[in-house]
């Protein structure tokens, strides 16, 4: 897989341009709130600033997070109304749907299906939080033989899902009740959402309130310990405020889950793009090892390095499987 196949450079660059405009429109005068490390609850130290946002790093767990950050209300307005959100939901998804369906969502559906089997959840209904364009829901419904319920607050994305025949709860998770969801046991999933959350702890508390004991939650997010993010740092395109506020890592995400009554079963980094991202952004690499590596490594060496990063937990794509334990029930 190549980054350009699922993130065409011209489309991504236009999206980032719109984000910069929306940042000035929605956040230049918006109230901001100081926060502690979302995983440890301790103060962070300034790591760098980007587009008028400060990123702090936790000295204990190395979580990278925006501090101070806009209010939840301001962020919600941005995601529902902004030009960049509409562009992502329409142009980006439309132009990349075929490639992402085959290279991302079908494999991810097979992975989730296998995880559910492994943990005795094969009979669960699946609920996709932040289901976006509905591509995972479509792929997963084929494996399950029944529809996947999508929770999607963005009106334009909810409309797309309905057009695909997908059951939609058009609400933010905070407003979802048990009556909105299938009545039988459920496995909740969420992909590339955690990095956007104003308060990951509040999100987990809300989700836990909807879960029954031993129900699963499977999610992916960006790991701030990933090779491409660490090597590119503030020049990484995925470090993009106000979109990406939180960068956990395999160690810190376990701390986060424990603080909110969820038991981590697996934390892996099955990423495939770290090395390709570094090659594509070689001009912004400051680390001397990675400078030499991207210049001199052949395709086989790059492939082996990517496998090593994924296996050892240092890819920037992180998948977590957790469940609600009896100790975490309320």
Could you tell me if 119 and 265 are in contact, meaning their C-beta atoms sit under 8 angstroms apart? yes
Q: What is the pTM of this model?
A: 0.91
Residue recorded with tokens 């307005």: 77
Residue pointed to by tokens 């992402």:
100
Q: For the structural domain made of 3-272+317-325, what CATH number should be given?
A: 3.40.50.150
Q: In this structure, which long-range contacts are made by residues 287-296, counting pairs with CB atoms below 8 Å and at least 24 apart in sequence?
A: 287/230, 287/231, 290/227, 290/231
Q: Any idea where the domains of the chain sit in the sequence?
A: 3-272+317-325
Q: How confident is the model at residue 37 (pLDDT cuts 50, 70, 90)?
A: very high
Cα–Cα dist 243/196, whole Å:
6
Q: Backbone phi, then psi, for 204, in 5-degree steps?
A: -65, -35
CA-nearest of 138, 129, 124, 125 to 166 is 138
Q: What is the pLDDT of residues 190-211, one digit of tens each?
A: 999 999 999 999 999 999 999 9
Q: Supply the pLDDT for residue 11.
A: 83
Which CA distances in Å does 15 have to 18, 48, 203, 291? 5, 22, 26, 28
273-300 pLDDT, tens per residue?
Answer: 999 999 999 999 989 999 999 999 999 9
Give me the helix-helix angle, 250-259 and 200-210, nearest 10°.
Answer: 60
Residue percentage of the chain with pLDDT more than 70 = 96
Dump pLDDT digits (tens) for 158-181: 988 999 899 999 998 989 999 999
Tell me which residue has tokens 């289901």: 131
Q: Cα separation of 11 and 328, whole Å?
A: 42
User: What mean pLDDT, rounded, does the chain reach?
Assistant: 92
Query: Cβ neighbours of residue 141 under 8 Å, at least 6 residues apart?
Result: 147, 148, 166
The answer to whether the CB of 266 falls within 8 A of the CB of 321 is yes
Instruction: Determine the pLDDT at residue 329.
Output: 46
Strand extents, DSSP E, the chain:
32-33, 45-50, 53-57, 64-66, 69-70, 125-129, 149-151, 168-169, 186-191, 216-222, 246-247, 262-268, 317-324
């Amino acid at each position: 897989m190549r980054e350009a196949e699922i993130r065409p450079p011209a489309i991504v660059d236009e999206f980032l341009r719109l984000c910069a405009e929306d940042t000035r429109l929605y956040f230049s005068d918006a109230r901001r709130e100081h926060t502690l490390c979302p995983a440890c609850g301790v103060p962070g130290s300034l790591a760098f600033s980007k587009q008028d946002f400060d990123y702090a790093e936790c000295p204990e767990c190395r979580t990278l997070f925006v501090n101070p950050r806009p209010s939840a209300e301001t962020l919600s307005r941005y995601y529902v109304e902004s030009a960049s959100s509409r562009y992502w939901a329409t142009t980006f998804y439309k132009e990349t749907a075929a490639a992402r369906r085959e290279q991302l969502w079908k494999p991810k559906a097979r992975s989730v299906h296998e995880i559910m089997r492994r943990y005795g959840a094969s009979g669960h209904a699946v609920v996709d939080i932040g289901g976006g364009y509905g591509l995972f829901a479509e792929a997963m419904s084929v494996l399950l033989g029944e529809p996947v319920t999508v929770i999607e607050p963005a009106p334009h994305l909810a409309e797309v899902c309905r057009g695909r025949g997908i059951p939609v709860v058009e609400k933010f998770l905070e407003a979802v009740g048990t009556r909105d969801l299938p009545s039988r046991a459920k496995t909740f999933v969420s992909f590339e959402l955690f990095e956007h959350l104003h308060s990951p702890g509040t999100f987990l508390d809300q989700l836990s309130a909807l879960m029954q004991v031993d129900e699963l939650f499977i999610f992916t997010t960006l790991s701030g310990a990933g090779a491409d993010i660490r090597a590119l740092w503030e020049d990484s395109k995925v470090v993009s405020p106000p979109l990406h506020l939180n960068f956990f890592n395999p160690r810190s995400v376990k701390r986060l889950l424990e603080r909110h009554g969820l038991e981590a079963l697996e934390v892996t980094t099955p990423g495939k793009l770290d090395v390709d991202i570094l090659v594509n952004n070689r001009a912004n690499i400051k680390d001397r090892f990675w400078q030499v590596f991207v210049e001199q490594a052949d395709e086989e060496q790059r492939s082996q390095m990517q496998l090593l990063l994924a296996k050892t937990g240092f890819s920037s794509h992180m998948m977590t499987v957790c469940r609600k334990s009896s100790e975490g029930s309320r």
